[in-house]
Amino acid sequence: AEKKGRVEFRDVTFKYPGAEAPVLSNISFTAEPGKTLAIIGSTGAGKTTLVSLLPRLYDVASGDVLLDGVPVTKMDASEITSRVSAVPQKPYLFSGTIEHNLRFGKPDATDDELWDALETAQAKGFVEEKSSGLNRRIAQGGTNVSGGQRQRLSIARALVTKPNVYLFDDSFSALDVATDARLRKALKAKTRDATVIIVAQRVSTIADADEILVLDNGRIVDRGTHDELLETSPTYQEIVES
């Protein structure tokens, strides 16, 4: 069967409600199942805004956002939720157990599925280190868990739902470089059929992506692989050197 999860942005322009100027202009790209698309750019460039348009946190002003050829504006919220898993830049954990938090998107997941997701997200050791295991309590907002653990639990939660599309908004930034690399290697093995879109700050996180979009001031200023961009993109070179 054909793989699902093809994401296409067609000439998308977006303004926040009440704002004068668009924060995204003429955004066009395609992200294919089995591939990783990365988005990089300075703070305020519009990366979070861009990835929020697929799960329809906001709707576009003009242009189209399509999932397997269907505009997301024509899809049920429940269908989008089951097919697209977004790990937000500021991941949220609920007051409740780790299990409760992990099952959020898929209440009928088995314990094996939860542990498998935790292993991929490099969070298994953290959950095993207390005898309460999956029943460990998380405080509201995840305040009794470190930023890096919050990110990993949030990544595990996304993995449990086995979506067609993963959106990781700066999800690896609180991890040390070695954990970041281990996590992404495990992730790659587990998400072979899915479309993966990664927003990143660090070039090392996305150097192996199939395509990288360089976003600046709401526009895609350059695109290509890491090696291509090193040759062609002054903006990318600046990010590499920063």
* Footprint on this chain of Mg ion (rule: CB under 5 A): 47-48, 89
The reply to whether 23 sits near ligand TTP by the rule CB under 6 A is yes
If contact means CB under 5 to 8 A according to the sort of partner, which of Mg ion, ligand TTP, none does residue 93 touch?
none
Residues sharing a CB contact under 8 Å with residue 84, sequence separation 6 or more, in sequence order = 54, 55, 67, 163, 164, 165, 167
- C-beta closer to ligand TTP: residue 127 or 198: 198
Enter the tokens of residue 242.
């920063």
Point out which span in 38-46, 121-129, 150-158, 175-183 binds ligand TTP (CB under 6 A).
38-46
Among 16-24, 101-109, 132-140, 177-185, which window interacts with ligand TTP (CB under 6 A)? 16-24
For residues 64-93, which are near ligand TTP according to CB under 6 A? 89
Select from 27-35, 39-47, 94-102, 176-184 the region that touches ligand TTP (CB under 6 A). Answer: 39-47
User: What are the two backbone dihedrals, phi and then psi, of residue 126, each rounded to the nearest 5 degrees?
Assistant: -60, -40
Distance (Å, whole) CA 145 – CA 143: 5
Please give the Cα distance from 155 to 135 (Å, whole number): 18
Q: State the sign of the Cα–Cα–Cα–Cα dihedral 129, 132, 133, 137.
A: negative
Q: Is 44 in the site for ligand TTP (CB under 6 A)?
A: yes
User: Per rule CB under 6 A, is residue 43 in the interface with ligand TTP?
Assistant: yes
Are 221 and 236 contacting, i.e. CB atoms less than 8 angstroms apart? no
Residues that bind ligand TTP (CB under 6 A): 16, 19, 23, 41, 43-49, 89
